[in-house]
């Protein structure tokens, strides 16, 4: 058993947990903003896939990881534009369009990958890490938490930036109002559609970035359907967090640890099917809900398109 709890093993486990958590964190934060503004964004899985594919292609051809993140976020925004146009401007059913976008992007990214790379799966070189002085010297935690790619730190910083936006800025208030009582926001002279569009496009950017991280940093390659439900996990995280960005971070880390545990167990040669470990985070959350389940505080106008003058 000493091998299982050795310093190397533990820090590898934690490192993997952080890597697995970042895409979920970005997706969760993005979904949270959409939901706050009253748009149930089920297309987030498609936005992540667009981000993963374009992010990988961008990084692969340019050789720059940062350009990859940029194209990934751009891919997410492109899908979000369609969503904003159809669901916010025109007011089509968000669940129909969201699922249609997810299905379409699943197919489209797999199709493009096929025509571009055929059956080969080229890999990106290993990523550079930013070592934080002093802190990275701490045993176990230092190796795992403070020797990550710069974007990991930025993603964590984003949690607090989001918290600030929601609590302290006009934009945060507008978003909240767009989700809870859009008519009131309209009366106050602020364009509901514009506010919601901002939220959906931000979701697209964050989800695309999360997808690009998943492909470029997490896996180092793109395979069709690489997100494998990460977007839906983001929706779960956003709803569980009840509007608080910090809770998304905790949730993402919980799921990240369990995902990382799956790989670590296999490496350690412990013969538990991965499916059992994959069930753990969901079991934990369901038990928590059964024990402490309270009325979820979702925005009142969630999922309802806003049309001026209609009761």
Catalog residues that contact other proteins under the rule CB under 8 A.
Answer: 40, 86, 90-93, 95-97, 99-108, 110-111, 114-115, 224, 229, 232-233, 235-236, 239-240, 273, 275-276, 278-279, 282-283, 285-286, 289-290, 293-296, 298
Q: Which is nearer to other proteins, 40 or 88 (CB)?
A: 40
Q: Which is nearer to other proteins, 32 or 148 (CB)?
A: 32
| Nearest distance in Å: CB 217, other proteins | 23
| Nearest distance in Å: CB 129, other proteins | 31
The number of residues making up the chain comes to 311
Dihedral sign computed on CA atoms, order 92, 97, 98, 99: positive
Tokens of 80: 């979000």
Euclidean distance between CA atoms 200 and 205, whole angstroms = 9
| Nearest distance in Å: CB 115, other proteins | 5
| Nearest distance in Å: CB 214, other proteins | 17
For every residue of 122-182, DSSP letters joined together read --PPPPP-EEPTTGGGSTTHHHHHSEE-HHHHHHHHHHHHHHHHHHHSHHHHHHHHHHH-H
| Nearest distance in Å: CB 193, other proteins | 15
Q: Which is nearer to other proteins, 5 or 294 (CB)?
A: 294
Q: Which is nearer to other proteins, 104 or 220 (CB)?
A: 104
Q: Which is nearer to other proteins, 246 or 286 (CB)?
A: 286
Q: Which is nearer to other proteins, 97 or 152 (CB)?
A: 97
| Nearest distance in Å: CB 17, other proteins | 18
Query: CA 139 → CA 20, 30, 175, 268, distances in Å?
Result: 21, 33, 42, 20
CB 230 within 8 A of CB 24: yes
Euclidean distance between CA atoms 181 and 177, whole angstroms = 5
Tell me if residue 294 falls in helix, strand or coil: coil
């Amino acid at each position: 058993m000493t091998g299982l709890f050795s310093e190397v093993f533990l820090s590898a486990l934690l490192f993997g947990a952080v890597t697995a958590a970042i895409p979920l964190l970005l997706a969760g934060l993005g979904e949270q903003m959409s939901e706050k503004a009253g748009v149930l964004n089920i297309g987030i899985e498609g936005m992540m896939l667009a981000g993963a594919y374009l992010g990988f292609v961008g990084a692969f051809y340019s050789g720059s990881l940062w350009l990859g993140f940029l194209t990934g976020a751009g891919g997410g925004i492109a899908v979000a534009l369609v969503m904003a146009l159809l669901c916010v401007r025109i007011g089509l059913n968000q669940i129909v369009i969201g699922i249609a976008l997810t299905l379409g992007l699943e197919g489209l990214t797999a199709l493009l990958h096929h025509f571009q790379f055929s059956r080969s799966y080229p890999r990106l070189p290993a990523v550079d890490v930013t070592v934080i002085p002093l802190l990275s010297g701490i045993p176990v935690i230092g190796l795992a938490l403070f020797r990550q790619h710069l974007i990991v730190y930025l993603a964590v910083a984003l949690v607090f930036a989001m918290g600030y936006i929601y609590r302290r800025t006009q934009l945060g208030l507008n978003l909240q109002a767009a989700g809870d009582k859009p008519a009131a926001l309209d009366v106050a002279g602020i364009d509901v559609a514009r506010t919601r569009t901002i939220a959906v496009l931000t979701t697209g950017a964050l989800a695309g970035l999360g997808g690009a991280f998943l492909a470029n940093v997490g896996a180092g390659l793109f395979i069709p359907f690489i997100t494998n439900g990460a977007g839906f996990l983001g929706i779960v995280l956003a709803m569980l967090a009840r509007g608080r960005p910090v809770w998304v971070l905790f949730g993402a880390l919980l799921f990240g640890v369990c995902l990382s545990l799956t790989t670590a167990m296999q490496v350690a040669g412990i013969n538990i099917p991965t499916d059992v470990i994959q069930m753990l985070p969901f079991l934990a959350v369901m038990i928590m809900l059964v024990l402490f389940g309270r009325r979820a505080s979702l925005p009142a106008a969630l999922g309802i398109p806003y049309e001026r003058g209609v009761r």
